[in-house]
Each structure stands twice: as structure tokens, then as C-alpha cells.
Structure 1
Amino acid sequence: MKQEPNEHPVTRLPLSRRSFLLGGSGALGLFALGGPLLSGCGSAASAGANAATVALQAPIVSLDPPLINSIPVAAGVRHMLESFVSLDASGKIVPALAESWEVSADRTTWLLHLRQGVTFHDGSKWTAEVAKMNLDRYLGRPADFPRAQSYGFIDKVTTIDEHTLQVHTASPQAGFLNWTSYFALGFHSGESLEKYKDEVALRGVGTGPFKMVNFVPNERLEMERFDGYWGTKAKLDKLTIRTVPDASSRIAMVETGEAHVAVGVPPAMVPTVQKSKSMALLSTPSVRMVFIGINSQHADLKDVRVRRALNYAVDAAKILETVLHKQGTLARSVVPEMIPGFTAQTPYGYDPQRAAQLLDEAGWTVGAGGVRAKDGRPLKLTIQTTDGYTPGDRSTCEAVQSYLAEAGVQADLSIIDQNGYFAAMQKPASITTTTLNYFAYGSSIVDPGHALGVLEGSWTNINSIYARYRNAEFDAAYKKVVTSVDDQAALAEAAAGAQKVAWDDAPWIFLFSLNSLLANSDTIEGLTDAPHEFYNLTAATIRA
């Protein structure tokens, strides 16, 4: 009988905990599992000089990719579980578990030629049948795996032979390959799926350069190098990912040598890291776009003059400089500059006089207490936001609140915890009642269709509900972006048109795209970060 490297004692979960593991993205981080569920021998953090520790802000609840609700956690787990393709440090597609691919003449059937000679951490083979088993589990249970709705375009998955998989889409999908890079498609071994079923969430038996040694949910994930890896072997012997919610503690761990990397450096702490003699700041432009959605479905915000006025009223450049310490890029379109097809628009700029003029034209004139009113009704809005989930979220909204007050717009702040905020925004009743909604949208597959999808008008996209936007001209251009497979000229033209329509229609208060900020010890070399915020330690080493 073959021994499995990941065969460790397991504390069996009662039904309520198993249900938790399948609770979808909204449940992640709410339930603290007590004690190690998987126990191994020793700690990766103290296993020798060639071991690295990464401190994250997010809880590591699951090793099942479609249940992961945090990019930093997904980046850590991606060291173990891989997908068909991946994105390099510039955001370009590179082969991973699929070596090559081709699409049919009607652009709806894709053949994926899978890499041969790949083995999972348990010694089993990577085959088309295993790929199909994973996809059928994920796509066939959208109630358990809410991210599966993003793959609604997949109609059927068929195995052609041991190393060829056929995927049929209901309509042409220009971003198909980018979607196969998504972290939610990290593949488990077929044997682990059959043996552990949904408890693979505690196992993480993949094909990556590291394999799991010990997993304590909400606390740490310990890995070691997988010497049977198909690609370039990791240089580290051990890699540990630890949950450390407090930013000051994460950075202190790097400074004292307890950790080598701190993920999610708050902008306010950038000067501290830059002044340190034992740390360095790794600042990488990312595809995470920060905006405040202006709910154009709300009666007071349907007039485009009002939405444009809100943009002229806010000095986004000053907020980027003071609140974000210049760790980002001022928005010049509705997509970040790292997205293919980005087309620069003319910035609104800070122009209080123009804001006042537009509000006057829209009938909102200055009334009692300096608050603008129309037909006896004051212009009172509420900015909904999280506090600490995204770097500078609350501080950014407080700055926006102050600028709007100067324009005669009363904007109250509603601070909601991360999971509660997302849940509240998904309720249909909120579509006509919310007014301003902070959001930091990361197009983690680095695709124009995905980036623009946050504005599509059917609101079936899990993220488009935050913008509350609907424009027939935009939707027509967006559809061309999505369906222009292998026609880069048509895709670029449609993407440019969609960006122009949305920019002029001002469905957001346009702010900036964020930099991904890591603090790293001066003893670590070879650490990389990417536009999709995936830090990578495969090539990292620890200098003695």
C-alpha cells in the first residue's frame, strides 16, 4: 500500500464544522477552529536556516481554493495547488498544468493539452480525468462554491485522452485562458478527493513546489519543498504562512527576524519600513482599483451631473499623496493601467467650482447649514465602507467625506465589518437604498473582460452588484470585449469604447489603483510580487 506524504492524524469534524468548510466565501473567517486539525513533525518556522515565514493579515481557514476568500491566503496556498496556467510577474499567461491549448473555429471549444509526467504530493498522476473530477465538483455545486458563478460560460467538460481535456463554452470567451489561471481552480489530487471528499479543505494535496506538513486553521500553514515537482524546484526547505491580524505585529516580526515577509503593509506604516535598517519595502503596482460606487439607481444620483460633480469635488490626487503615501496610481480609467486594453481618459481633477456649477444646474442648491437641497430635500448620502480590510479604506472614505462636505453634500460614514459588508451589498433590497459604496476591486486574472465586468448591467457578476450601474451602450461594448476571441483589434476597440462610456457616465468617484505592499527582511532574496498580488517564494533563499 502506497504511503501518502500527507497522511497525518486528523481530528474528525462534526457536521456543523464540515458545513462551515462548505459555507462559501461569506462564511470564511467567522468561525475559529480550535487546535491543530493536522499535526506534523516540527515547525517550519524553526526548522533551520533555509526556512522562511510569511505573516498575513487574513485567517487561513481553508486549503480548498474555491473556498478561499482572501488573495494573500490564495497566494500562499498557490505554492501547493496549481491550475492550468499561471500569470508571471508582469501578469502574462504562462503554461502550468496545461502546456498548450487551441480553440475551435467557432471559438467555443477549447482543447487543453495537459503537462505529462506531473505527480501530486501523494504520488498520484495528473491526468485529464483528475482535471475533470475537480471541475465537475467545483462547477456542479454553485451553492457550495459561490465563485463557480464566474464560470457560468462553461457548458461541458470532456476528457479526450489521458492528457487532453476539452472544454465547451456556451458562447465565445476572450478571457477563457485568464480564467483558467484563477486561484479558485487550484487542483486537488484525484485520490485525495475520493478519500477525503470535502475534507480536502484540510489537506491541500496538489502539484506545487511545496507540500503541506502541518495546518492549524486560523493560525498557520507549514510546508516543505516537494522534490518531485515538475518545474524548477524551490530553493527553500521550509515555508510557513502565519495569520497575524495586527499590522504593527507583522512588521515587528520582520524587523526582529521572527518572519521574513509581512503582507499588507498599511500605507501609514510605509515610512517606518523605509527607514528600517533591517527591512525593505516591496511596492508593486497592482490591478486593484479603488473607487466609491455612486448608486445611479438611487433617485438622488440618477442625474449624471450630480455624479460628475462628486468627482470634481474630491481631490483624489491629494488623498493618494497623504492617506496612501503615494503607494498607488491615480485613476485614469475604470480599469487599472496594468490591464491589457487600458485606455487613458481625461481626469476629472479637483475643481470645486465646476462641482458647484453642476450641482446648481441639477437643482441642488445650497440651503440651511450649507447643505445642498432640492425641493426641500437635503442631499444626504452615506458612504459604506470596511475598516482595515483594504489599506486606507476608512481613512480614504473620511477624506472623501470631508471634500463632499465642502461641496455642500452631507455624507455620513457607515463602517461595516468585512463579511457583513459583502453580505449586505448582495441583498436585492439594498440596490435602491444605498448611495455611496467603497470598493477595492482586484481583477486578479488580469483580463479586460474581468476588469470591466464590475460595471456590467445584468448584475449577475458577483462584483458588479457593488457598482449598481446599468448602461446599454456600455453593456454592448462589454459584450464585444468578452466575445472577441483571437481578434485583438476588435477587443481593443470595444474595451476603449466601454471605458469611455463608463468614464463619462461617472458611476464611481474615481480614486486610484493600489500598490501591493510587502515588508521583507534584508536576509531574504528572490521574493517576487505580481500585479495580481501573488507573492512568490519559489525562488527565494535566506542569506546567512
Structure 2
Amino acid sequence: MTRSPASGTTAVAVLATVTVALTGCSAATGGGSSGSGSGEIVVAGTYPIESLDPNGAVGGGTGTQLAAKAIYSRLVRPRADGTLEGDLATAWKPDTTASTWTFTLRQGAKFSDGKDVTADAVVASFKRLLEIKGTNAANFTGDTMTAASPNEVVLKTAKPDAAVPYKLAVFYVLPASVTGADTAFFQHPVGSGPFKVEKFDSAGTLTLVPNAGYYGGAPKAKRVTVRKMPELAARLTALRTGEADLVWGIPDDQLPQLESDTNLKIQTVPSTAVFTMWFNSSAPALRNAAVRRALWQAVDFNTIIKRLYPKTGTPADAPVSPVTLGYAPQTPVKYDPAAAKAALSAAGFDFSTKLRLQFANAEFRQFNQAVVSDLQKIGVKVDLLEKEQAVFTKDLLALNWDINFQQLSNPTFDAANTLGRLYTCAAKRNGYCNPKLDKLLADAGATPDKNERVRLYGEASKIIWGDAVGMYPMAVKFAYAWNHRVSGVTPDPNGLPDFSHMQVSGS
């Protein structure tokens, strides 16, 4: 694909900045303020930590979920391979219809203030999630939870739901006293996870220290500091100088140079993330599926991926990634700009319309610039809007956009959390509504037969793909890099590494 002047200039500027930063600091490699004797691990965070409320309105944000894994506990949690293990729950089982789930709670688990984690706290946290309409609440519409005994909770679903344990992988347990927004609590939260919050400031820096009362044993790192570093050059410079110990989401063109640095360890892993570009099907210009399909056909995603993501990107062939339960490959959309323009004309598309493409985070700027360039080549006008995360999230939910770009991960590893939660008529997340799709998603969520669930999600994906509810350009791999003095790093498929097993050599 030929680069547009805008995207080409930006790409050169970014690469030049990174190259200067890396070569200019090479003499200081392994140094920096996080010296090997401190026992502190410094993480260069890509995404802002908007809140420490994991069950709140922005609880699904990547930064918030990263913090939540360290501070709080869940009933169950996914391993790096997507299978589930107990956290606060030691066992769970459904009834014969998968409508009633019983969870047996771990004995002796405590919050960081020394108080016991009780069944009442689990129930109160679940009720709060629903009452404040947290990000994950749509997974439990009409569901109820009660305490059957001091060490058992029972979740009753409004309809059979085989995905309940997976959905609970993003539900965190708080003290029973936490109600409503309670902003004061989340400045200095109490959790039952491996770490406690030492400091959380307005700049987005989160400092964690071990929770001595954690049921799994206190982490060995003396401190973990997560610093917001949205700019690529800053993250990589901090890594090379030793000011940061762990970075991920590394662009392909920077991997060879990092791999040659003997002070660093590099690992790339398949992820649950897919580049997802929803169309706002409620917008007048985009109500016609033929228009949406033509816009998809007008973008040469294969060439864009080869140029920008040769190591960490693969052309997607489904709305969810291959590591997600419910993945079913679809027929790829063939790039054909001439056919796309003809299809738009035949569908009555008004070429004077200016579409709004919104995204957040500078790392995705060049990709979206390339998309805009291809659309402009066939006469489609696009305003590219790079927004701060909070504004992006607000506008996303308000449907204040025409095309919305997200690197959409799935921390539950189950399509119920993405397809089942985001594509129903009731969800109102992308302006698309199809009763036939709703039924398929409901049936897929209800059956306990895993093979049947995959089949039904495949049928649902066929509709989503064929109607071009969005464009699904790329399945993502995450590249991690960390300082050799840090051990216990397990790259996570969701970009949410677990700090609890990490430690600094010699500390």
C-alpha cells in the first residue's frame, strides 16, 4: 500500500524519535533509578489507570483491570492459557440447567485491613456491580446472588448460562461496606489481592506494596510502581536506561533492536485482542449493510498489517481471536477499491458526508491514518479524531462517532463476554440490532455443550461479519520486554501481567 503523506510523515517522525532515544541512552543501559538492590519493579504502563474501581463505569478499561488484578481477588480467574482456576472460590458447580451456580469460598482469606472475606462481601459486591451499572453488569442482566452459608454463594441466572464462571473472571470482591461510587474508598482501597495501594496520584502513577495477609503468600517484590507512559519513545527509553523494568505492546520495528540487548528478555505471545472498528449502524450514512461492507472492502488491511505489524499482527478472520472460546473463522474480505466505490454509489452513499473515526492512544495513530488514507482514495471523507481515554470512553458509550477503533481484548477468554455482551439489541453499543443474532447469542450462552457453543457463536459471527457490524482487521500478538534482573514474568494474553510472582534478583 502507498503511504499517504500524513501517515508517512508521522511514521518517520515517530521512528526517528525512538531511534534517537534508544541510541542516545545505550551507554546507560541497565542503570536508572530502579537499581537492582531496591527490590522495586517499575512498570511502564501504556494505558491510563482511570480508576481503581474494577466494578465501576470504567472498570473494563485496560489500566483499571491491570491494577485490579493486583489489588483485589475474584471468585475465579483465568490462567495464561485461558483455563480457569479458583481464586476466592475453591469449587463451583451448576445445576442441570446451568441456571443456578454454587461457589464454595476459600477459608481464611482476608482483606488487607485484616477483616475476613465473607460470603456477604461477595454478595454485596455483586449487587453493587448491578446497581451502579458497571462495565461488566451487562453480563449478568436479571441475575441474583445470595449467601447460602458463610462459605457459599449462589448465583441464579435469568436464563441458562454456561459462561457464568468465565464472566466472573472480571468481577472483583470488595468489602461489604462499599456502596455506590464511593470515590473516597477508591483513593485508598482495601482488597484481598496480593498487593496494597501505597499511592495513587492524579498523574496516574500507582504504587503497590505487598499485602502481608494475602492468602497465597505475600509477593517477593518490595514494591511495584506503574507509571503512565503513553508515548512509545518514553517507554522504550525508560526500558533501555533501566528506569523501567517491564514494557509490553512493543511495535514490530523496535523488536530487533531490543532483542539484541543482552540486558533484556523478549517474548511474544498470542492474545485475545482483535483490532475492532465498529460502524455506528444507527448513523444515517451507515445504516445500510452494503455501505458498511463496501467501506471495509476499500481498506487494504493486509498491506497495512505487513508494513506496520509483520511480527505481532495477523489478518483477522473472525470478530474474536483464535484463543477465545467461540472462535469460528469467516471468509476474508477482499480488498477491491474499485468495487467498493461502485458499491457505495449503488447504495446511494453521499460522498459529501464526513465520517468521524475515533480512537485513543497514540500507538494506534499510524494504523488509523493508513485506514483514513485508503478511504480517501475512493472519495470517502473522514475526520480522524484522537481522543483522551476518558473522552473516548464517554463518546463511545454515547455513540458519538461513526467508526470506532479499539484493540478489543477479552479477559474472560469466552465469546459471551464480547459477542454475547456487546452485539445484542439491548447492549446499544454500536447501533446494530438483529433479533436473529440475539437468539443465536442467547442460545450459545445457555448450552453447556462446548462444541455446540462454538457452533452457535460461529453462526453469530457469520452474521456480524456479513453485515459488517464492524471491520475486524487484525488478531494481535503482545510483545513483552523486561529487564534481566526481574524474574517470574509470565506474559499475559490480555496485556494484564501478574506482578505477584515477579521479583528482583538479589533483593
Which TM-score bucket, shorter chain as reference?
0.7 to 0.9
The CA distance in 2 between the partners of 1:472 and 1:69, in whole Å, is 26
* Equivalent-residue separation in structure 2 for 1:271 and 1:383 (angstroms): 36
Q: Deviations over 1:479-529 (max 9, x none)?
A: 211222x22233122111111122222222221122334331122222112
Q: Which residue of 1 aligns with 2:173?
A: 187
Decide which of 140, 147, 152 is 1:159's aligned counterpart. 147
Moved more, 224-233 or 329-338: 224-233
* 2:138 is aligned with 1:173: no
Q: Is the 8 A contact 2:40 2:224 kept in 1?
A: yes
Matches within 5 A, 1:46-61: 48-60=37-49
Q: Secondary structure at the match of 2:104?
A: strand
* Alpha carbons of structure 1 residues 313 and 98: separation in structure 2 relative to 1, 3 Å: same
Q: Which runs of 5+ in 2 are unaligned?
A: 1-32
Which of 473, 486, 491 is the matching residue for 2:436? Answer: 473
State whether structure 2 residue 35 is matched by structure 1 residue 64.
no
Structure 2 counterpart of 1:289, one-letter code: V
Deviations 1:5-24 (A, max 9, x none): xxxxxxxxxxxxxxxxxxxx
The partner residue of 2:413 within 434, 446, 462 is: 446
Q: 3-state SS of the aligned residue for 1:123?
A: coil
Write the deviation string for residues 380-402 of structure 1: whole angstroms up to 9, x where unpaired. 3414222526x32x222211122
332-341 vs 261-270, greater mean Cα deviation: 261-270
Aligned counterpart, 2:353: 380
Matches within 5 A, 1:96-495: 96-142=87-133, 146-147=134-135, 149-182=137-170, 185-190=171-176, 193=178, 199-231=184-216, 233-266=218-251, 269-356=254-341, 358-359=343-344, 362=346, 377-378=350-351, 380-388=353-361, 391-392=363-364, 394-427=365-398, 430=400, 434-453=401-420, 456-458=423-425, 460-461=426-427, 465=429, 467-484=430-447, 486-495=448-457
Letter in 1 for 2:53: D
Change (3 A) 1:240 1:295: closer
Q: Which amino acid aligns with 2:41?
A: A
**Contact 1:221–1:240 (CA under 8 A) maintained in structure 2:** yes
Partner of 2:28: none
Task: For 1:171, give the aligned amino acid.
Answer: K
Change in 2 beyond 3 A, CA 1:59/1:359: closer
Report the CA distance between 1:468 and its aligned residue.
Answer: 2.3
| Corresponding residue SS for 2:323 | coil
- TM-score, structure 1 as length reference: 0.78
Q: Is residue 534 of structure 1 aligned with residue 496 of structure 2?
A: yes
- Kept in 1, the 8 Å contact 2:48–2:389? The answer is no
The answer to whether the Cα contact below 8 Å between 2:36 and 2:505 also exists between their aligned partners in 1 is no
- Residue 508 (structure 1) aligns with: 470
Tell me the amino acid that sits aligned with residue 480 of structure 1.
Answer: D
Contact 1:320 1:326 in 2 (8 A): no
Stretch deviating more after TM superposition (108-117 or 197-206): 197-206
Q: Show CA shifts across 1:85-132 (max 9, x none).
A: 111111221111001111223432211111112222222212212212
Superposed CA RMSD in Å reads 2.9
Question: Measured at CA, do residues 363 and 386 of structure 1 come closer, stay the same or move farther in structure 2, by a change above 3 Å?
Answer: closer
Q: Structure 1 residues 158 and 313, CA, compared in 2 at 3 Å: closer, same or farther?
A: same
Cα distance 1:363–1:58, how it changes in 2: closer, same or farther (>3 A)? closer
Opposite residue 481 of structure 1, the aligned amino acid is A
SS of the residue aligned with 2:493?
coil
Per-residue CA distance 1:436-461 (angstroms, 9 max, x = gap): 33233222222111221365241x43
Describe the SS at the equivalent of 1:384.
strand
- The letter of the residue matching 1:169 is T
| Structure 1 unaligned regions, length at least 5 | 1-43, 365-373
- Give the Cα separation in 1 of the matches to 2:360 and 2:211: 38
Supply the AA of the counterpart residue of 1:138.
L
> Which amino acid is the alignment partner of residue 492 of structure 2?
A
- TM-score when scaled to structure 2? 0.84
Separation in 2, partners of 1:62, 1:45: 25
After TM superposition, give the deviation of residue 164 of structure 1 in Å: 0.6
Distance 1:427 1:329, change over 3 A: same
Counterpart contact for 1:86–1:94, Cα < 8 Å: yes
Residue 87 of structure 1 pairs with residue 78 of structure 2: yes
| Aligned CA distance change for structure 1 residues 238 and 439 (closer, same or farther; 3 Å) | closer
Amino acid in the other structure paired with 1:518: Y
C-alpha displacement of 1:49: 4.0
Contact 1:448–1:481, Cα closer than 8 Å, also in 2: no
Residues in 1 aligned to 2:376 and 2:116: alpha-carbon distance in whole angstroms: 62
Q: Which moved further from structure 2: 377-386 or 246-255?
A: 377-386
Q: Which amino acid aligns with 1:436?
A: I
2:55 maps to amino acid: P
**Change over 3 Å in CA distance of 1:74–1:47 after alignment to 2:** farther
Alpha-carbon displacement from aligned partner over 1:381-437 (angstroms, at most 9, x marks no partner): 414222526x32x22221112222333433332333332233234336x5xxx5333
C-alpha displacement at 1:222, in angstroms?
2.7
